[in-house]
């Protein structure tokens, strides 16, 4: 073999795959580290951990935005998500309305429960029993009605003026004082939670009743464009940004478009997101945004040309606990990370850093 050929071969054959040895796996941190030396989606999941850790330890302290979609509460991820917020592993949450609605449904104030069901259920029979099905999980429609009433009552207390989804969700989070709640934890920690399609959820039912009741008079107006204006400020005041997408949908698209808007229309001097990871079950070849690669996003300037990025094709019910558990195992790495302090005067943001509170507070929730 000519030397030049051998050399070019060696350039490609540098890093061997190492087989996973489950006898040596003592923790989820071990497992994900082992995955980094394998292939296919295990490697991708391992790389997601690596990208997240890089974002957490970057001395420029990127702002980390978390996008949430899919049946995450049904999937048993409420505690995991609440922990990510409490531990400071994310700085901003963007979510479908459904995730937050089901988070509130489980607060002790309502007492809702997600129940084990079956995908082969007789749905017409369930209808008669006031049971709603989410694939293999049941929710209680009567408790949904209680959730609606609770949200409806609180909406009446909200000031009669235009506001963003972030303000309204913070208002709710402050009033559902459940340490196990994602929304309440975010409110306590000062983490902004946006829901750019909030009307497209059961939370929207209460808002629509409020609309009808106060129609023509002063009322709370969900001023959707204000969400954009607030997001632009967050991005503009962040020297760097990182994104963690659980699923796709509106949250992924909105966060990705946000950075384009900030850079192109609002004079932000910066690049696309600098770190990007996604857990998804969608695929690129349907051409939709949810399954589109993070490379494709680079052509749009959504993701920085030099971003580190990883995309793992795995159901979030499996992939997210693995990631979160591995991050917990390595908490010494990110415990010193400063927190962000978001202070809002109307729609105006003042964004500063605060020292980390030492080791993360022992979460009070039981899950």
Residues classed as catalytic: 302
Of 58-66, 185-193, 204-212, 337-345, which part binds a copy of itself (CB under 8 A)? 204-212
Work out whether 160 is an interface residue with a copy of itself (CB under 8 A).
no
Q: Which is nearer to a copy of itself, 295 or 350 (CB)?
A: 295
Work out whether 321 is an interface residue with a copy of itself (CB under 8 A).
yes
Site for a copy of itself in 335-364 (CB under 8 A): 347, 363
Q: Which is nearer to a copy of itself, 283 or 341 (CB)?
A: 283
CB 338 within 8 A of CB 356: yes
Work out whether 3 is an interface residue with a copy of itself (CB under 8 A).
no
CB 181, min distance to a copy of itself, A: 11
Q: Which is nearer to a copy of itself, 141 or 354 (CB)?
A: 141
Question: Please, which residues have CB within 8 angstroms of residue 348's CB and are 6 or more apart in sequence?
Answer: 233
For the stretch 206-209, contacts whose Cβ atoms lie closer than 8 Å and that sit 24 or more positions apart, written own/partner, are: 206/148, 206/151, 206/152, 206/155, 207/155, 209/152
Work out whether 228 is an interface residue with a copy of itself (CB under 8 A).
yes
CB 58 within 8 A of CB 353: no
Instruction: Pick one of 50, 53, 156, 296: the residue that binds a copy of itself (CB under 8 A).
Output: 296
Work out whether 367 is an interface residue with a copy of itself (CB under 8 A).
yes
Of 57-65, 223-231, 237-245, 350-358, which part binds a copy of itself (CB under 8 A)? 223-231
Work out whether 131 is an interface residue with a copy of itself (CB under 8 A).
yes
Number of residues binding to a copy of itself, judged by CB under 8 A:
139
Q: Which is nearer to a copy of itself, 229 or 344 (CB)?
A: 229
Show the tokens assigned to 223.
Answer: 């001023």
Question: Please, which residues have CB within 8 angstroms of residue 55's CB and are 6 or more apart in sequence?
Answer: 62, 64, 242, 274, 275
Work out whether 74 is an interface residue with a copy of itself (CB under 8 A).
yes
DSSP summary character for residue 336: T
The four Cα atoms 299, 96, 360, 333 give a dihedral, to 10 degrees, of -20
Instruction: Pick one of 48, 99, 183, 207: the residue that binds a copy of itself (CB under 8 A).
Output: 207
For residue 27, give the nearest of 313, 311, 321, 365 by alpha carbon: 321
Work out whether 60 is an interface residue with a copy of itself (CB under 8 A).
no
Give the DSSP per-residue string, 86-122: HTTS-SEEEE-HHHHHHHHHTSTTT----EE--TT--
Question: How many degrees, rounded to 5, is the angle at CA 163 between CA 159 and CA 167?
Answer: 85
For residue 36, give the nearest of 58, 51, 24, 14 by alpha carbon: 51
Pattern 162-201, a copy of itself, x by CB under 8 A: x-----------------x---------------xxxxxx
Work out whether 98 is an interface residue with a copy of itself (CB under 8 A).
yes
Query: How many whole angstroms from its chain centre is CA 40?
Result: 24
Instruction: Pick one of 2, 60, 217, 305: the residue that binds a copy of itself (CB under 8 A).
Output: 305
Work out whether 295 is an interface residue with a copy of itself (CB under 8 A).
yes
Q: Which is nearer to a copy of itself, 189 or 214 (CB)?
A: 214
Site for a copy of itself in 12-51 (CB under 8 A): 12-23, 25-28, 31, 34-35, 37-43, 45
Cα separation, 56 vs 45, in Å, equals 17
Q: Which is nearer to a copy of itself, 61 or 262 (CB)?
A: 262
Work out whether 110 is an interface residue with a copy of itself (CB under 8 A).
no
Cα separation, 35 vs 48, in Å, equals 11
Site for a copy of itself in 235-294 (CB under 8 A): 247, 249-250, 253-254, 257, 260-261, 264-266, 281-290, 292
Between strands 115-116 and 137-140, the pairing is antiparallel
With tokens 């997240």, the residue in question is: 52
Work out whether 114 is an interface residue with a copy of itself (CB under 8 A).
yes
Between strands 63-68 and 241-246, the pairing is parallel
Work out whether 223 is an interface residue with a copy of itself (CB under 8 A).
yes
């Amino acid at each position: 073999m000519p030397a030049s050929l051998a050399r070019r071969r060696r350039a490609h054959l540098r890093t061997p795959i190492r087989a996973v040895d489950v006898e040596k796996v003592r923790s989820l941190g071990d497992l994900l580290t082992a995955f980094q030396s394998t292939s296919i989606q295990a490697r991708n999941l391992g790389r997601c951990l690596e990208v997240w850790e890089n974002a957490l330890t970057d001395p420029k302290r990127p702002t980390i935005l978390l996008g949430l979609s899919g049946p995450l509460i049904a999937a048993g991820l409420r505690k995991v998500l609440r922990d990510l917020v409490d531990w400071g592993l994310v700085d901003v949450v963007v979510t479908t309305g459904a995730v937050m609605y089901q988070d509130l449904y489980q607060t002790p104030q309502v007492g809702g429960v997600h129940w084990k069901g079956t995908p082969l259920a007789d749905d017409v029979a369930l209808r008669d029993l006031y049971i709603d099905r989410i694939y293999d999980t049941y929710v209680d429609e009567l408790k949904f009605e209680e959730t609606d009433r609770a949200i409806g009552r609180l909406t009446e207390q909200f000031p009669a003026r235009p506001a963003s989804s972030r303000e309204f969700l913070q208002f709710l989070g402050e009033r559902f004082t459940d340490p196990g709640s994602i929304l309440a934890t975010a409110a306590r920690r000062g983490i902004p939670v946006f829901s750019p399609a909030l009307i497209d959820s059961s939370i929207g039912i209460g808002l629509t009743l409020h609309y009808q009741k106060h129609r023509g008079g002063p009322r709370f107006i969900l001023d959707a464009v204000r969400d954009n204006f607030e997001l632009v400020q967050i991005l503009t005041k962040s020297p760097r940004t990182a994104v963690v997408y659980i699923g796709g949908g509106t949250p992924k698209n909105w966060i990705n478009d946000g950075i384009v808007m900030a850079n192109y229309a609002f004079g932000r001097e910066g690049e696309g997101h600098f770190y990007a990871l996604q857990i998804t079950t969608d695929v690129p070849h349907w051409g939709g945004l949810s399954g589109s690669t993070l490379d494709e996003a680079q052509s749009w300037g959504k993701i920085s040309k030099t971003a580190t990025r990883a995309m793992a094709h795995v159901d979030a019910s499996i992939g997210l606990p693995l990631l979160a558990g591995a991050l917990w195992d390595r908490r010494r790495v990110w415990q010193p990370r400063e927190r962000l302090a978001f202070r809002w005067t109307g729609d105006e943001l003042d964004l500063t850093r605060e020292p980390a509170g030492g080791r993360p507070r022992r979460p009070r929730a039981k899950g």
